[in-house]
C-alpha cells in the first residue's frame, strides 16, 4: 500500500494540497489515483490566472486506461502550472507528490475542509477495490 505524506491535505477525489511557505497551495493527484490510472500519457491543465471553485474541475488526466477529470481542493486563482508535464506526463507516475505536482493556487480560503493523511487512508479503506 502506498504511503501518504502527513504534511499534505487530501480530497475524496484523490487530489492533494500542500500549503507552501509563500502562502500558495500546490496541488496534485495522490499515489492511489496514480495506481488506479496506470501510466499517465497526458495532463491538461488550466492557464495561470484561471479562477477555480472549490471542488470545481481544473483539468483532465489521461492514462493508458482512462481519462479522468481533475478537481480543485480549494477555491482560488492559478498562479503556477507545472509545464514540465507537457512533455513528460509520466512525471506524475514517477513522483506524484513532488515532480508530478500540477498547479499552484493563491487560495481564497483555507484548507479546513480537507482530510489529513490518516483520514484519507481511512477513506480509502471504505472503497471497493
Grid coordinates standing for 92?
A: 506524475
Counting residues of the chain whose pLDDT is more than 70, the rounded percentage is 97
What 8-state DSSP symbol labels residue 47? P
Q: What does each C-alpha distance from 26 to 38, 64, 81 come to in angstroms?
A: 22, 26, 9
Q: Output the pTM of the full model.
A: 0.93
In the CATH scheme, what is the code of domain 8-108?
2.40.50.100
Distance between CA 73 and CA 94 in Å, rounded?
22
Indicate the pLDDT class of residue 2, thresholds 50, 70 and 90.
Answer: low
Residue spans per domain, the chain: 8-108
pLDDT in tens, 59-116: 999 999 899 999 999 999 999 999 999 999 999 999 999 999 999 999 998 898 999 9
Per-residue confidence (pLDDT) for residue 110, from 0 to 100:
86
Amino acid at each position: 500500500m502506498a504511503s501518504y505524506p502527513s504534511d499534505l491535505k487530501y480530497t475524496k477525489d484523490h487530489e492533494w494540497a500542500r500549503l507552501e511557505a509563500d502562502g500558495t497551495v500546490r496541488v496534485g493527484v495522490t499515489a492511489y489515483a496514480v495506481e488506479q490510472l496506470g501510466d499517465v500519457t497526458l495532463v491538461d491543465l488550466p492557464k495561470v490566472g484561471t479562477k477555480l471553485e472549490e471542488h470545481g474541475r481544473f483539468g483532465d488526466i489521461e492514462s493508458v486506461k482512462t481519462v479522468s477529470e481533475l478537481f480543485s481542493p480549494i477555491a482560488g486563482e492559478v498562479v503556477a502550472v507545472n509545464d514540465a508535464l507537457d512533455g513528460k506526463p509520466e512525471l506524475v507516475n514517477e513522483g506524484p507528490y513532488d515532480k508530478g505536482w500540477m498547479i499552484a493556487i493563491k487560495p481564497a480560503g483555507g484548507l479546513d475542509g480537507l482530510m489529513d493523511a490518516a483520514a484519507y487512508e481511512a477513506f480509502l479503506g471504505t472503497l471497493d477495490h
